[in-house]
Each structure stands twice: as C-alpha cells, then as structure tokens.
Amino acid sequence: MANKSFTDFKWPTDLIGNPVVWLLTTIVVVIAASFLIPGPNDNPSPEVVRRIIPTEFESNIKTIDDIVKEENMQITREDDTDRFEEFLQVEQTDNQIQPLFEAVREYIDNDQLIGTDDDNAWVVYEKILTIDPENSEARSGQSKILNYFIDHAEMAIESGQYEQAQPWLAKLDIAQPGDELQASLRAEINAEIQRRAEAQRRRQEELERQEQITALLIKAREEAQAFTFDFDMVRDIYLDILQIEAENAEAKQGLISLTNKQLDNAEILVRANMLQRAEQLIAGAQENAPENDRLSGILLALEAKTQQYEQEKAIAQQIADNERRIADEKEKAEAEAREKAEAEAEATRQRAKDEEQARIAQQLEQQREQQAIQDAQQQSPAQPEQSASRQSQVVNTDTTILPKETSTAGEDAEKTSSTGSEQSNDQANANDETMGISEGETESQTTRENQQLLNGVNAYYQADYPQAFELLFPLAERGRPRAQFRIGMMYQAGRSVSIDRASADKWFSLALPAVISAAQNSVPWAQADLGTAYELGISLQQDFNRAAHWYELSAKQGYAGAQTNLGVLYANGDGVELNNDKAVYWLTLAADQGDTIASENLSIIAPRSSATNPVLNFFRGTVSQPSRPAPTPTNDK
C-alpha cells in the first residue's frame, strides 16, 4: 500500500458547502416565520393568553378541550423558544469553530498533523472538541489522522522496515498515549528489533569464528609445509579448530595426514634404532587417531625392535663387563709387574750402590798401598830401580783407576737420569690411574684418529679398498660413524671383502643414528651420507627427493662428494627436475675441488647438454678402474 499524503483525505471545513449548516439555517428561518406569520390554527403566546383570559371568558370554568388546547399551545411556544436558543448557541459555536477548521486545513496542507507543540491539526481538533464535544467533523478528522499514522506504521512493519515504523508510533504516542493497538505494534517492533539484533550478533560471531578458523588453518598449512616441523604444535592447531567447529573437514583431514607423517617418521626411527623418539611419535599418533590401521603393525615392529635392542644392549653390557674385567685384570697384572720391576730396579740400584761402595773402598785401599810404597822408596834410596819400578807401577795403577772412576761417574749419571725418568713416569702413571688419560694424550690420539680417518676416506674414494679397509675398520670398531658407514658400503658392494649383507646392515645400523643426528646438525659429510642412504635405500626407504634434499644441504656447504651426487641427480632427473645446466653447475664446483668423478661426468654431460641423459648405472668406486672415463654420469658416494 503506497504512502498517502494526509491532504488526500476530504475535510468538511467550508461552512458554505456544509449541509449541516444549511439544515440549521433552514430550521432558524422556519422558527422565525412561525413567530412573525401566525397561522389560522395557531394560539397566541402564553403572555397573550394570560392577558386576554379575564376579558374573553366570563366564567372561570374551562372545558377539558380548552385545557388541552391551552397546554398544547404553551408546549409549542416553549419548544420554539428552546429551538431558537439552541440555534443561537449552534450559530455561536459555529462562529467559534469555523476559524479553527480553517487552521486545521492550513496545518493539514503543511503536513503538521501531530506534534509536541500547539501548531498542529490534532491539537486544534482537541480545541474544537472542547468547544463542541459532539462535533463529528473533529472526531472524524482525528480518526483519519490516527488511521493515517497507523496505516503507515503497519506498512513499515509489513515491509520489514521496523526502524521507519518507530517515528509513526512516536507520533501516535503523543496523540493517544497508552493505546493498546499502539502498544501491540510497538511490542512487535521491539521484538523484531531484538530478533534482528540477535541474528546480527550470531552472524557476527559466526563471521569471527570463521575468520579464526581460517587463520588457524593457514598457520597449520604453513607449518606443515616445512620439511621438518613441530608435530605437537600443528596437532594442537587442528585440535583448536575442532574445538571451535567440531565437524571441520580440513582439520580432521589434517589430523589424519599428520598422523600418517608421524607414523612414517616412526618407521624410519624404528629402523634406525632411535626407539625412544619413535615411541613418542607413535604415542602422539595414537592420541590423534587411535583407529589408524597402521598403528598395530608399527607397534609390533617397535616391540620387536625394542626386544632386539634390549638383547643387544644386554650382550653389549656383558661384553663391556668382560672387557672391564679383563682390563681390571690387565691393569692389576701391570701394576704387579710394575711393582716387581720397581723392586728389581731397587735391588739393582742397591747392588750397584754396594758395588760402588766396595769399589771406592778398594780404591782407597790401593791408594794406601801406593802411599806406603812411596814412603818405603823414600826411606830406601839405594834401590832406585825398584822404586822407579814401583813408581811406574803406581802410575799404571793410577792410569787404571782413573778411567774406572770416570766410567763409574758416567754410569752413575746414567743411572741417576734413568731413575729420575722412571720416577717421572711412575708419577704420570699414578696420575693416569686417578685422573684418566691426560688431555695432551687425548688430543694426540684424536688427531691421529682423525688423520687415519681422513687417509682411509681418501683411499676409499681413490678405489684403494684394501688400504681403506685396513685404516677404517679399527676406527669403525671404536665407534666412528663415518668409518662405520664406509665399512658398511664396502661389505655391501664387496670392496676388498666378500659381499656380506648382514655385516653391511650391522655397520649401517650402528652408523645411521649418528649420521642422522650429525646431518640434522648441518655436518656436511653426514648430510652427504644420509643422502646416499636415501638414494640407495640403505636401512631407509628409497627416496630420491630426500636424497636430493640432503645432497643439496651438503653441497651448499662446499662438500665435493655431495656436489657430484647432486649434479648426477640433475643429469638423470632423479628426485629433481631434469636440468643439465644445474648438473654442469654442481659438477663444475666439485671438479674445481679436484673431484675426478665430477670431471669425468662433466666430459660426458657438457658436450650433450641438450640430449637426454641416461639413467645412472654405477656410483663412485663401483668401476674397477676409476681413472678410466665413465660411460654415464656417476655418483660420488
């Protein structure tokens, strides 16, 4: 229903064209005529009757008809008077309200229908009704004003424009405060406004909830895209999302994918004997998805590996106990031998001392004898030849004695020096027993082992496998993971030893945890070896992508072997997109460091950079003549 201007309604404000005014005017004229023009049957007024009765009637006796006629005449005259007074009153009322109706018309033309001041149609209608409470035009006008505002309020409500209905109701409240219809309309408006406010609040909450979920999902995706990420943190993000929206499909799928990644890593760690960390990952997977089908198999593998580990640990402990017992016995025997040697040395020193004292005593005795001979010669001059002979003999004796004294002094010096050295060694041994090997000896030993390891690795890469095995095997037994990995490769490929898969797996299993740890700590050779393990599937599932990842980390640190292997992956498109330019780039870097395999590969790849590269068929050291040009690009493992 279209809005109407209040001026569209018809209002009886023109008195000239008003039929009521015409009717009243006609009544006034008739009454006036009744007074001015008496009819043949009309009776005189009560005053005339009272004035002529005494003269017209001779007797005071009146008939019933006369009394009735007299009473009727009196009633008629009095009624005409009342009508005339009423006419005058109506005329007076009309004179009062006519200007008010004119004001109403002006207010209606200006749309001043209802207001808080006196300048509006409603207030003027109230004034008219105060003058003439039964004035139908005023009441009809007020009714039309009310209907006009009610219609517009209802139209606004029906069209859902509740805010626009409020001003119409406010005007109605001014005109009729407390009206039930207005109260009902206002209650309906307030209820709808509250409902809309509640719906808006819920929409806003839903919007904020979705924004929060979106932000958490973006964060989870960014974290999960990293090669290594915090499983617990990503899991907590997905759980937070499910707390907000229990049926969020992406969060549920994210937990499933996260669980599968946890189980993948757990399998790797189980094979690498990193059981504690594997157990943590499996526990997290059980918490995230206890119904996952892979859990039972991995748990069985973990249990079997744990039992194997415990058995190996018990055997290793037994071996260690035996070695410690043997070492204790050896140390005890060495201590007893040292004590015995010291006792023998002390006895030797004592014997030497006794011999020295006896020698000195003998020398003194010889000197006394010579002095006695000289004294006797001086007392017997007659025997010069004999004295000369004795003197000569003394000289010879002296000559014999002096070298002996010199020799003795030298021996004493040697003994003293030796004794001092032994005492110094004894002190050092005592320090070793209480404090362990000294720092100098440890550094020296480590330096020797490092040099031995370097020589062994160089011999390996130069295809001198017997020399490499001889240098690296003792280091592998001493727990050097780099040596263990090389020994494992030699057993696997049969280099200078017979192919022995069991021995190869043993050394790989021993080396791999340390290799993984070192690789994660950015050690270049360990990153290169881990790349090899992934490329060849050594104790790990074969994965060229991961191999390329670890080769690249090592290569960027300048490790020549990794640069060669990464270049070959690019040459063959294994784990990376086939790219001869990148292959040449990495192989050139390795060749510049003197890597011969890289140089040989460059001679194969560079001339045919636009051709398709063949698949790898051997890696470094598998050919019997490393100096001979390789037929295809080869890895530098």
Highest mean pLDDT out of 24-28, 89-93, 145-149, 366-370: 145-149
> How many other CB atoms are found less than 10 A from the CB of residue 209?
12
Q: Rounded distance, CA 195 to CA 207, Å?
A: 18
Most confident of 24-28, 143-147, 298-302, 378-382: 143-147
- What's the pLDDT score for residue 10? 47
pLDDT digits (tens, 9 = 90+) for 450-499: 999 999 988 887 788 999 999 999 999 999 999 999 999 999 989 999 99
Task: Give 362-390 pLDDT, tens digit per residue.
Answer: 766 776 667 676 677 666 544 444 433 33
pLDDT band at residue 170 using 50, 70 and 90 as cut-offs: confident
Whether residue 212 sits in one domain with residue 160: no
Asked whether the predicted pLDDT for residue 434 surpasses 50, the reply is no
Task: Confirm whether 558 is domain-assigned.
Answer: yes
Whether residue 582 sits in one domain with residue 478: yes
User: Both 159 and 222 in a single domain?
Assistant: no
Distance CA(240)–CA(209), nearest Å, equals 12
- Tell which residue, 205, 221, 216, 283, has the closest CA to residue 243: 216
Q: Do 173 and 251 fall within a single domain?
A: no
Question: Would you say 168 and 156 are in contact if contact means Cβ atoms under 8 Å apart?
Answer: yes
CA distances (Å), 637 to each of 115, 155, 560, 619, 629, in order? Answer: 98, 87, 10, 6, 17
pLDDT for 523: 94
- What average pLDDT does range 116-127 have in this prediction? 87
Query: What's the chain's average pLDDT?
Result: 75
Q: Looking at residue 37, what is its pLDDT? A: 54
CB atoms within 10 A of CB 542: 13
Q: Which residues lie closer than 8 Å to 387 by C-beta, 6 or more apart?
A: 377, 380, 381
- What pLDDT, on a 0 to 100 scale, did the predictor assign at position 307? 84
218 pLDDT exceeds 50? yes
Model confidence band, residue 436 (pLDDT cutoffs 50, 70, 90)? very low
Please, which pLDDT band fits residue 574 given cuts at 50, 70 and 90?
very high
Can you tell me which residue has the tokens 């320090």? 431
Q: Are 619 and 635 in contact (CB under 8 A)?
A: yes
Question: Residue 151 pLDDT more than 80?
Answer: yes
Q: Specify which of 52-61, 63-72, 299-308 reaches the highest per-range mean pLDDT.
A: 299-308
Domain boundary among 283, 298, 313: 298
Last residue of some domain: 259, 279, 298? 298
- Is residue 370, in this structure, part of any structural domain at all? no
Cβ–Cβ under 8 Å, residues 200 and 162: no
Tell me the pLDDT band of 553, cut-offs 50, 70 and 90.
very high
Q: Is residue 592 part of a domain?
A: yes
Residues 6 or more apart whose CB falls under 8 angstroms from that of 137 comprise 11, 12, 13, 101, 128
Q: For residues 509 and 598, state if they share a domain.
A: yes
68 with 142, same domain: the answer is: yes
Whether residue 190 lies inside any domain: the answer is no
Share of the chain above pLDDT 90, in %: 23
Does 547 map to a domain? yes
Q: Check pLDDT > 80 for residue 623.
A: no
pLDDT of residue 364: 67
Least reliable range by pLDDT among 22-36, 151-165, 175-189, 474-488: 22-36
Task: Say which range, 87-96, 546-555, 557-566, 573-582, has the weakest mean pLDDT.
Answer: 87-96
Residues 39-66: tens digit of each pLDDT: 544 444 333 333 333 333 333 444 445 5
* Residue 450 or 177, more confident: 450
Task: Tell me the pLDDT band of 328, cut-offs 50, 70 and 90.
Answer: very high
| 28 and 102 assigned to the same domain | yes
Q: Please list the helix, strand and coil fractions of the chain in percent, rounded to the nearest 5, in that order.
A: 80, 0, 20
Give the pLDDT score at 379: 63
CA 104, CA 6: separation in Å to the nearest integer?
Answer: 12
625 pLDDT band, cuts 50/70/90, is: very low
The residue-averaged pLDDT of 592-618 equals 67
Tell me how far the alpha carbon of residue 298 is from its chain's centroid: 27
State residue 283's pLDDT score: 81
How would residue 5 be classed by pLDDT, with cut points 50, 70 and 90? low
Q: What type of residue sits at position 637? A: K
pLDDT above 50: residue 136:
yes
541 and 600 belong to one structural domain: yes
Question: Domain of 567: which CATH number?
Answer: 1.25.40.10
Residues 42 and 166 both lie in one domain: yes
Among 257-271, 275-289, 525-539, top mean pLDDT goes to 525-539
Mean pLDDT confidence for 183-211 = 84
Q: For residue 90, what pLDDT band results from cuts at 50, 70 and 90?
A: confident
Could you tell me which residues come within 8 angstroms of residue 585 by beta carbon, excluding any fewer than 6 positions away? Answer: 567
**Mapped to the 3 state alphabet, what secondary structure does 537-573 carry?**
CCCCCCCHHHHHHHHHHHHCCCCHHHHHHHHHHHHHC
Domain annotation covers residue 97:
yes
| pLDDT in the model for residue 587 | 94
Q: Where are the alpha helices (DSSP H) in 380-438?
A: 384-435
pTM for this structure? 0.32
Q: Are residues 125 and 227 in the same domain?
A: no
- pLDDT at residue 569 in the model: 95
Average pLDDT over residues 506-535: 92
DSSP SS3 for 511 = helix
Contact predicate 636/595, CB 8 Å: yes
> How many domains does the structure of the chain reveal?
3
Give the pLDDT of residue 426: 35
Which of these ranges, 51-65, 148-162, 456-470, 528-542, has the smallest mean pLDDT?
Answer: 51-65
Q: What pLDDT shows up at residue 522? A: 93
pLDDT at residue number 287: 75
pLDDT confidence of residue 255 = 79
b/e map of 217-237 (b: 16 or more CB within 10 Å)?
beebeeebeeeeeebeebbeb
Confidence category of residue 529, pLDDT binned at 50, 70, 90 = very high
- Residue 305 within a domain: no
For 576-604, what is the mean pLDDT? 91
Q: Are residues 173 and 226 in the same domain?
A: no
Q: Is residue 535 part of a domain?
A: yes
Q: Is 214 in the same domain as 168?
A: no
pLDDT at 294: 80
* Residue 176 predicted with pLDDT over 90: no
Quote the domain boundaries for residue 547.
464-608
The pLDDT of residue 279 is: 83
pLDDT of residue 559: 92
Distance, in Å, from the CA atom of 262 to the CA atom of 290, rounded to the nearest integer, reads 13
- Write the burial class of residue 41 (CB in 10 Å: 0-12 exposed, 13-18 middle, 19+ buried): exposed
Residue 611 near residue 578, CB atoms below 8 Å: no
